[in-house]
Structure 1
């Protein structure tokens, strides 16, 4: 009887390898050969699951999104029933920031993918849709008088804080302090 192969498991193994390569060496180092070596599989196997680098990148971003969604969902669940909008937003944004070693790799990949889409617009549609959905969700939580512009500002703050955290310019405490100060302005 032939061996059963879990294709999703293999795709995730390859995506995890891609994320390690991207986090350690940057996106420019991502190639079928480098990812295969990191995953401990053949380049042919990588090509079987991902025909192009763009396909690998899109899948890696989807893995980062899934991990982020799990972090956000778990963090919000710990808040209990009916948290305040400010606490809900703070918790969600804090869960998305690269505040510790475990989330820094995902943050590096997400940042690298943002840069990647700046020069490859064809790779950006899923990113645009995710941003649109997140902006709409945040706008729906904000107090009256605030809307899409304030939600976009919060997302820009989150991305900027993420860049500063990854670059070492801010500590986790500084980033959370800046987030709290901005939320205080919105929810004053």
Structure 2
């Protein structure tokens, strides 16, 4: 029986291999055999840890969610004002853009999972695919904090503005993926829109 640490390491190795296959070739190219080849391990070992392709795909979705949460937390904590609503919102929306290989892979694979979920009830039931709902609530809460702090005009509706911000970020992200704009252009557009909302930074 493998030690727990060894199991965790092997799990991560296999799931990272799946994300590489899905990110470079598409989710349709993911099979237990292709993941084994990418991870440079035997097919039997992938089957030992995950049993079926469905379980492998669901586990990879959880892994992808964890990676995204860590990246957002790191980006927020690395800012000069991690408690400022404007800083937090900007960091979250910028992290949602495909600005490097990891975030590009996230966009490609998440989108592929979302499309696949339309015809796969088990996949559609996964909490991570409802992440935009949770993110909308989170952004709306940050906008309410900003209004209480007097750095967002009171006539702005936080829930509606949060939905618009998510739609803006998603559209800009697709544009970056397709080469229609640069990541810098997209980041500038987000900052411009936050200025247009009247969302200021909390005074130091």
TM-score by length of structure 1 reads: 0.87
| Equivalent in 174, 178, 185 of residue 163 of structure 1 | 174
Moved more, 152-161 or 17-26: 152-161
State the match for 2:42 in structure 1. 42
Q: Aligned with 1:127: secondary structure?
A: helix
The yes-or-no answer on 1:137 pairing with 2:124 is no
For 2:159 and 2:58, how far apart are their aligned partners in 1?
26
For 1:122 and 1:42, how far apart are their aligned partners in 2?
27
Query: Between Structure 1 and Structure 2, how many residues are aligned?
Result: 187
- Structure 1 residues 63 and 3, CA gap change in structure 2 (3 angstroms): closer
State the match for 1:72 in structure 2. 72
Report 1:73-152 matches (<5 A): 73-81=73-81, 83-125=83-125, 126-142=127-143, 143=147, 144=154, 145-152=156-163
- TM-superposed CA distance for 1:83, in Å, is 4.3
State the match for 1:172 in structure 2. 183
- TM-superposed CA distance for 1:183, in Å, is 1.8
* Cα offsets for 1:96-129 (capped at 9, x unmatched): 3211234222222222222222232331231344
CA contact (8 A) 2:23 2:105 kept: yes
- TM-superposed CA distance for 1:161, in Å, is 1.9
Q: Aligned with 1:119: secondary structure?
A: coil
Which of the two has higher C-alpha Rg? 2
TM-score by length of structure 2 reads: 0.81
For 2:132 and 2:197, how far apart are their aligned partners in 1?
20
The answer for unaligned runs of 5 or more in structure 1 is none
For 1:70 and 1:3, how far apart are their aligned partners in 2?
27
